[in-house]
Amino acid sequence: MERRLTTILAADVAEYSRLMGEDETGTFDALKALHRDLIAPCVRAHRGRIVKLMGDGLLSEFASVVEAVKCAVEIQRGLAERNAKTDERRPILLRIGINLGDVIVEGRDIYGDGVNVAARLEAMAPRGGICLSDAVYRHVRSKLDLSVEDLGEKRLKNIAEPVHVYRIVPETAETPIPVDAPPQLPDKPSIAVLPFTNMSGDPQQDYFSDGITEEIITALSKISDLLVVARNSTFIYKGRAVDVKQVSREQGVRYVLEGSVRKAASRVRITAQLIDALSGHHLWAERYDRDVHDIFAVQDEITREIVVALDVRLRWGEMAHFWSSGTKNLEAWELVRRGMEVHMCGTAVGQREAQVLCRKALELDPDYAHAWVMLGWAHHNEYDVGVGYGVAAGREAAIQTATDCARKALELDASNADAHALLAMCHLSKGEFDEALSMSEEAVLLSPNHADNLAISAVIQTKCGRPERALQLIKKAMRLCPLSPAWFYWALGTAYRLTGQGEAAIATYDTVVGEDIEALSIYVGLASTLGELGRTDKAKQAASEILRLKPDFSIEAYMDGLSYRDPSVLSRIEEGLRQAGLPD
């Protein structure tokens, strides 16, 4: 495990969800221009590195504390100047937090309390403002001429020791902005399930509380008459003290479920409360003191109570797979939860670790369908299959193993939507397009509010020649997950491109380009689309970013990993990349 001391800068866009709801295209355009023209050049000028972009969020690191603060001030000043030149009633404003701390390094990503503190500081900053930890302030107070407000020691959620916080008050600090009414709610019950707080006093137990949260989200997402915000969006609130009305406003939901988990030895205490965020009234609250092996029953009870409290109607056929159980073996469940954590890191090493953990779970419970699904995804993703970075040795065997795992899961639980989605991707990787379409549609039917499965289906629809259907699915997925991952934007941009909306595709790709390796597929889509439209200068700029992220990139290797029903699409992609000047 590699560790290093670094300066972490975390930033996000204030009221991003509302901005997107009011003017999606305009916000896309403004954000892409902001990143391209101001943020990315500023970070590079101060010798920093953008670690990753997360929807409306940004994480960067700097070797110099002084350069990190100078970069933050320059970004806020530049943004204020840009906003002053427009007549936008609701301009884009950033919050920034900076911390100096020890981090764990995994590939291009960084983790640990050093990062978490920066994120907490960002949440405390006002729109247009910057918050610093004491460790940062002590390095810059005699080196930079700053107006600083001492906020004193703050107890940050899930951070063991209090942190002394300072707020920079630059001449660019925000002016008051009128608050409009929340975005229009859907015409059916809508809910965000916040990450249950780990009250065990041991951060290593986060997987346990996170697992309970995700199980509830997964169960609720199977109900067609309920809008359930996806994990990717609700987990941004993890460790943050947020008001439920803020959650309602940012996620576009009426109801919020929050809770906590305290696990000690063989006992567990789970509390949960369902709140009407518009009125602030508690619709239901309960505390469960149980043996730890009873958590599965508690999860079922909580989801049942939500259905009853919101008066949600279960349609014919939903009842059975809504209450379908996974495993009753706690150790197997915990192993799969740990496997999911490393799987989500996205590295080949993480996929192999997930395989080991899932196989251990299956030794304990061979009939655990979700363990088979997770094992399958870990094999499927080990070689970046279907992404288009070239065919790796072992890919064919990995696809077959993933296929076998998906089929085994469906033998055990025919209503498992995730197994259908996995099998759909396996069929796609083999060029079996009709089978891929059938399986992906079944996944959507079984779990109509599962954002990831909707996005997977959108990718498959696009590659099978149905981009109009893909647009419907990916837009719904992004409504369920307002803070969507990069690959959602890739799916949206590609669907736009193949429906003849090239400019919309460029705007979508341009929104999320950055330093993260996930941005590689975005840059490829951007370069190819620009090349196809004859905008070669900008296409070559995107191509230079591709080669910077992956110096050995070649068109031949990339095309080897692609699978489209219509060969003309492959020709368009290839020719666009060639026009961008990428090597054959």
Q: What is the pLDDT of residues 157-184, one digit of tens each?
A: 678 788 888 888 654 333 332 233 333 5
Q: 83: which residues sit within 8 A by CB, 6+ positions away?
A: 91, 92, 93
390: tokens are: 């070239």
pLDDT 10s digits, 415-426: 889 999 999 999
Task: Give the lowest-confidence range in 207-221, 337-351, 387-401.
Answer: 387-401
> Is pLDDT above 80 for 315?
no
Confidence label for 319 from pLDDT (cuts 50, 70 and 90): very low
Region 87-93: mean pLDDT is 66
470-478: list long-range contacts, CB under 8 Å, 24+ apart: 470/494, 470/495, 470/498, 471/495, 471/496, 471/499, 473/444, 477/230, 477/451, 477/452, 478/451
Classify 322 as helix, strand or coil.
helix
Helix (H) or strand (E) holding 565: none
What residues pair up with 564 in beta bridges, in sequence order? none
Query: Structure pTM?
Result: 0.61
Region 429-451: mean pLDDT is 91
d(CA 527, CA 389): 15
Confidence label for 311 from pLDDT (cuts 50, 70 and 90): low
Confidence label for 363 from pLDDT (cuts 50, 70 and 90): very high
Task: Give the lowest-confidence range in 146-155, 232-241, 388-397.
Answer: 388-397
Residue 268 · residue 292 · CB < 8 Å = yes
The CB density around residue 201, as the number of other CB atoms within 10 Å, is 10
> Is pLDDT above 80 for 56?
no
Q: What percent of the chain lies above the pLDDT cut of 90? A: 37
Confidence label for 358 from pLDDT (cuts 50, 70 and 90): very high
Residue 477 · residue 454 · CB < 8 Å = yes
> Is pLDDT above 50 for 321?
no
Burial of 458 (0-12, 13-18, 19+ CB in 10 A): buried
pLDDT of residue 17: 66
Mean pLDDT, the chain, integer:
84
Pairing between β-strand 267-276 and β-strand 255-264 as defined by DSSP bridges: antiparallel
Q: How far is CA 278 from CA 70, 154, 432, in A?
A: 40, 29, 47
Residue 579 CA neighbour count, 13 Å, CB half: 21
Pairing between β-strand 197-198 and β-strand 190-193 as defined by DSSP bridges: unpaired
66: tokens are: 């002084």
Cα–chain center distance at 204: 21
Task: Give the lowest-confidence range in 168-172, 404-408, 569-573.
Answer: 168-172
> Is pLDDT above 50 for 440?
yes
Residue 364 · residue 384 · CB < 8 Å = no
Confidence label for 356 from pLDDT (cuts 50, 70 and 90): very high
Confidence label for 388 from pLDDT (cuts 50, 70 and 90): very low
pLDDT of residue 185: 73
> Is pLDDT above 90 for 473?
yes
Classify 267 as helix, strand or coil.
strand
pLDDT 10s digits, 109-163: 899 889 999 988 988 887 788 999 999 998 998 888 777 877 777 877 678 788 8
pLDDT of residue 527: 93
Residue type, 88: E
Residue 530 · residue 509 · CB < 8 Å = no
The residue behind tokens 């009250």 is 199
For 366-388, b where at least 16 C-beta lie within 10 A, e where not — what string?
ebbbbbbbbbbbbbbbbbbbbbb
Region 371-390: mean pLDDT is 75
d(CA 388, CA 563): 8
Helices (H), 326-432: 330-343, 348-364, 369-381, 395-412, 417-429
pLDDT 10s digits, 510-522: 777 654 555 688 8
pLDDT of residue 148: 81
pLDDT of residue 55: 62
Residue from 186, 180, 56 nearest 482 by CA? 56
Q: What percent of the chain lies above the pLDDT cut of 70? A: 89
Instruction: Give the chain's end-to-end CA distance (angstroms, integer).
Output: 37
Pairing between β-strand 281-291 and β-strand 255-264 as defined by DSSP bridges: unpaired
Helix (H) or strand (E) holding 327: none
User: Could you write out the DSSP letters of every residue in 67-123?
Assistant: HHHHHHHHHHHHHHHHHHTS--SS---EEEEEEEEEEEEETTEEESHHHHHHHHHHH
Instruction: Indicate the DSSP class of residue 37.
Output: I
Residue 385 · residue 395 · CB < 8 Å = yes
